[in-house]
Structure 1
């Protein structure tokens, strides 16, 4: 008969794992049982901050645990998303990913602090939000075709602002220049709000801003709205045509996703998905989002992962053609 020698450490390790397994499963099933940190990689007071806080408030009410928003800005959202990617996969650090950090930046940046595909667990979509092109009031154009004709007559003499390299504001402008065949200078700011004094004064001439900020300025007659960046018109600004009506195929609607670090337990992800669905499908949150120009957007984890990959593929050739690149 063969003899076997059991390693005591291995035996105790196996026993400990078996004892811990039910506790781990119970912890996943009980999520959340303490406050959850939600990292917003953009500035406080902007549209993503308002929309994030509205969602976190609703999830707090429904779960009985606080979802605490922390603003960690820098590098067009990369700083905050790096923090999410490097956090412990315990379900208590989540945050905002989206088109800028997870679909544009992999092509735009020569060096990334994370892998958008491998370093995250994507839970759900959160909202979609088109941008609105507004121009300085001294620009004579009152329609997108007139603006294109004006810029072609003055190549390289005008500039558009953005909330930073790699944001949808930046790529909206770069895509516009490429598809319209015009030349403009890109001027990045630390958030779109910081750009408006220069736009109003005429030092910079336009911005493709998220609808809430742009519309607020337009209602005060500080700037003139010309068109939305989504493929269809927005119900929030129904009189503004889509830029795609002039440039077929133009489409740059911002989207966001709720994400955590790679390795989140599947059972916990399903609980996150269920909670976010309950919050995003309430009439109250839908109305709050529409007031900000956004559409609530729930997806399954599988759907948002597939969508992210398809957006990166769609945008990569457009970004390369625009010449936009951050070394």
Structure 2
């Protein structure tokens, strides 16, 4: 009996020892329950679709649900405030990106979070460049020809955007600065609203997200001249990158997977590995390309450094655009 009792105690002690790390950190089994993913933009749009595809892939790989919650408002600020204020346990993650984490600090006099201090950055998620399309009557069939034409007619032409401070707007401002051309910004409530005027020639061009712009170009309503990413897009490889004419031009909409500051390092490593496996999956990469996006995994350190560099790079362009909101 004594031998049996001693053996039983040994098994219990061994079991407790094995369980101790999980109980001590509370995180060893991540994800041990459903994960909330906050998308700071509206349901049904490209950002929502891409987010849900990634969350579904991470759910398939991990065996836990990733529940998308659309928390909209103030151009993504409301949703990212919710991310920043969540418990740092790895069970609330969400979408950050160029608008909220690189442009907003310069664009707005006050935002309710600090992109540097208030977030744990896990990985990049995708990059989605814009496509420069012009009215068919403009006598330019390449970016160099367009620049030459605009320089010959300063102040005569205009470009549309989906609103002041959007990546569509800042793409135009970066183009103006780097090409040395004088074109007027005309903001609309969304890029779709601008196309009737672009097609009619009342406004002359737009730097729009690839899906919408490419659909218009393939129907012959506008002419595609260049993509705003650093290199050509695999979605439209026949269209040159603007950087082939203006070296260093790069204005892609990028997103990152982030959570509140203070998530334990071991949990960050687990989330990062899951994101890597999801973003490197061939079926997800194919789904992204169908929507003009490129799956984009990075290490936590790489995305944190990238975000900071983007804020520094875009700050003078935003200031020069006059888009700052006090």
CA distance in structure 1 between the partners assigned to 2:110 and 2:263 by the alignment? 26
Q: Is the 8 A contact 2:131 2:224 kept in 1?
A: yes
- What's the counterpart of residue 159 of structure 1? 158
CA distance in structure 2 between the partners assigned to 1:197 and 1:72 by the alignment? 31
CA distance in structure 2 between the partners assigned to 1:155 and 1:326 by the alignment? 28
CA distance in structure 1 between the partners assigned to 2:78 and 2:196 by the alignment? 26
Measured after TM superposition, the shift of residue 165 of structure 1 is: 3.4
Measured after TM superposition, the shift of residue 203 of structure 1 is: 4.3
SS for the counterpart of 2:319 is helix
Measured after TM superposition, the shift of residue 199 of structure 1 is: 3.2
- What's the counterpart of residue 242 of structure 1? 241
Q: Is the 8 A contact 1:43 1:191 kept in 2?
A: no
Q: Is the 8 A contact 2:52 2:68 kept in 1?
A: yes
Which region of structure 1 is more displaced relative to structure 2, 98-107 or 191-200?
Answer: 191-200
CA distance in structure 1 between the partners assigned to 2:104 and 2:31 by the alignment? 31
| Pair 1:37–1:139, CA change in 2 (3 A) | farther
CA distance in structure 1 between the partners assigned to 2:114 and 2:226 by the alignment? 34
Unaligned segments of structure 2, at least 5 residues: 1-19
- What's the counterpart of residue 141 of structure 1? 140
Q: Is the 8 A contact 1:130 1:228 kept in 2?
A: yes
CA distance in structure 2 between the partners assigned to 1:194 and 1:242 by the alignment? 25
Q: Is the 8 A contact 1:174 1:324 kept in 2?
A: no
Q: Is the 8 A contact 2:126 2:293 kept in 1?
A: yes
Measured after TM superposition, the shift of residue 259 of structure 1 is: 0.6
Q: Is the 8 A contact 2:199 2:221 kept in 1?
A: yes
1:35-78 deviation line (CA, Å, top 9, x unaligned): 32222223333332222121111011112222222333333322
What is the root-mean-square deviation in Å for CA atoms of aligned residues?
Answer: 2.4
Measured after TM superposition, the shift of residue 322 of structure 1 is: 4.0
- What's the counterpart of residue 225 of structure 1? 224
- What's the counterpart of residue 89 of structure 1? 88
1:155-198 deviation line (CA, Å, top 9, x unaligned): 44443233343332221111011122223333344443344344
- What's the counterpart of residue 303 of structure 2? 304
| Pair 1:54–1:105, CA change in 2 (3 A) | same
1:222-271 deviation line (CA, Å, top 9, x unaligned): 22211011222222212211112222221112221101111222222122
CA distance in structure 2 between the partners assigned to 1:154 and 1:235 by the alignment? 33
| Pair 1:263–1:224, CA change in 2 (3 A) | same
CA distance in structure 2 between the partners assigned to 1:146 and 1:91 by the alignment? 51
TM-score in terms of structure 2 length? 0.85
CA distance in structure 2 between the partners assigned to 1:74 and 1:104 by the alignment? 16
SS for the counterpart of 1:29 is coil
Q: Is the 8 A contact 1:47 1:210 kept in 2?
A: no
Q: Is the 8 A contact 2:22 2:29 kept in 1?
A: no
Which region of structure 1 is more displaced relative to structure 2, 179-188 or 111-120?
Answer: 179-188
CA distance in structure 2 between the partners assigned to 1:73 and 1:197 by the alignment? 28
| Equivalent runs, 1:193-212 vs 2, <5 Å | 193-212=192-211
Q: Is the 8 A contact 1:137 1:224 kept in 2?
A: yes
Measured after TM superposition, the shift of residue 90 of structure 1 is: 3.0
- What's the counterpart of residue 325 of structure 2? 326
Q: Is the 8 A contact 2:22 2:28 kept in 1?
A: no
- What's the counterpart of residue 63 of structure 1? 62
- What's the counterpart of residue 15 of structure 1? none
| Equivalent runs, 1:1-327 vs 2, <5 Å | 23=23, 25-26=25-26, 28-327=27-326
TM-score in terms of structure 1 length? 0.84
Q: Is the 8 A contact 2:21 2:28 kept in 1?
A: no
Measured after TM superposition, the shift of residue 115 of structure 1 is: 0.7
- What's the counterpart of residue 5 of structure 1? none
CA distance in structure 2 between the partners assigned to 1:175 and 1:215 by the alignment? 21
| Pair 1:261–1:161, CA change in 2 (3 A) | farther
